[in-house]
Amino acid sequence: MTQLMYPTNPKFDLLFERIIDVSPELVWAAWTTPEHLKQWFTPAPWKTVDCEIDLRPGGLFRTVMRSPEGEEFPSIGCYLEITPNKKLVWTNALQPGYRPVNQLAMSDNDFPFTAIVSIEPHEQGAKYTAISIHRNEEDCQKHQDMGFYDGWGKALDQLIEYMKKI
C-alpha cells in the first residue's frame, strides 16, 4: 500500500490501487496533457470532450464529460499539489485560485471531494494509487454507489491501452 502522510478513513475515503505495465512518466503525461486525458479519462461509452489544465497549485483542472445520450457534464477543480511523475492532487471543492465553490450551485449528483493520484516506480511499470477523500460518509457512499471502483478501473484500463499506443 502507498505510504500516505495521513491515514485514510474507510468511512470517508475510497482507495483504488493497481500495478500497471506503463511507466510513471507515461501515466503522468496521461494525467497532465489535455489531448491525452480526453482519450481515456471517462469510462466508455462516456467521453471526455474537452479538457483544460493549468498545471500549478491553484491552477485550473476542467473537464467536460458527455453521456451516451449526448448530455454534457462540466467539472471545474483546482490543483492543490503537483510532484512531477509522482503525485497529483486536486479538488472540486475549490475553483482555480483556491476560490471556494458555492455548494448551493452544485447539483444533487455533485459532492465535494479531493483526489490524490500517486504513481510509484515498480518493476512491472508503476504502482498506481487513487484516493478520493470526502467530507462525510454520505458523500463517500454516493461516490461509491456511482461506480467509483468500476469507473476508475475502466478509465485506468483505457489510460494503459491509449498510452501504449503513443
Residue in the structure block whose three cell numbers are 490524490: 116
> Is the model's pLDDT at 2 over the cut of 60?
no
Q: Over the stretch 43-88, which tens digit does the pLDDT of each residue have? A: 999 999 999 999 999 999 999 999 999 999 999 999 999 999 999 9
Q: Measure the CA–CA gap between 90 and 78, rounded to whole angstroms.
A: 5
b/e string for 86-122 if b means 16 or more Cβ within 10 A? ebbbbbbbbbbeeeebeeeeeeeeebbbbbbbbbeee
Q: Measure the CA–CA gap between 152 and 132, rounded to whole angstroms.
A: 11
Q: Please choose, from the candidates 68, 64, 63, 70, the residue with its C-alpha nearest in 3D space to the C-alpha of residue 45.
A: 68
pLDDT band at 1 (very low <50, low <70, confident <90, very high): very low
SS3 50: strand
Identify the residue with better confidence: 89 or 106. 89
Q: What would the mean pLDDT of 126-134 be, rounded to a whole number?
A: 97
In eight-state DSSP terms, residue 42 is S
pLDDT at residue 106, as a whole number: 63
**DSSP notation for 111-161:** --EEEEEEEEEETTEEEEEEEEEESSHHHHHHHHHTTHHHHHHHHHHHHHH
Domains and CATH numbers, the chain: 14-165 (3.30.530.20)
- Which amino acid is located at 32 in the chain? T
> Is the model's pLDDT at 109 over the cut of 70?
no
Q: What would the mean pLDDT of 91-98 be, rounded to a whole number?
A: 96
**Structure pTM?**
0.92
pLDDT at residue 105, as a whole number: 59
Q: Measure the CA–CA gap between 131 and 84, rounded to whole angstroms.
A: 18
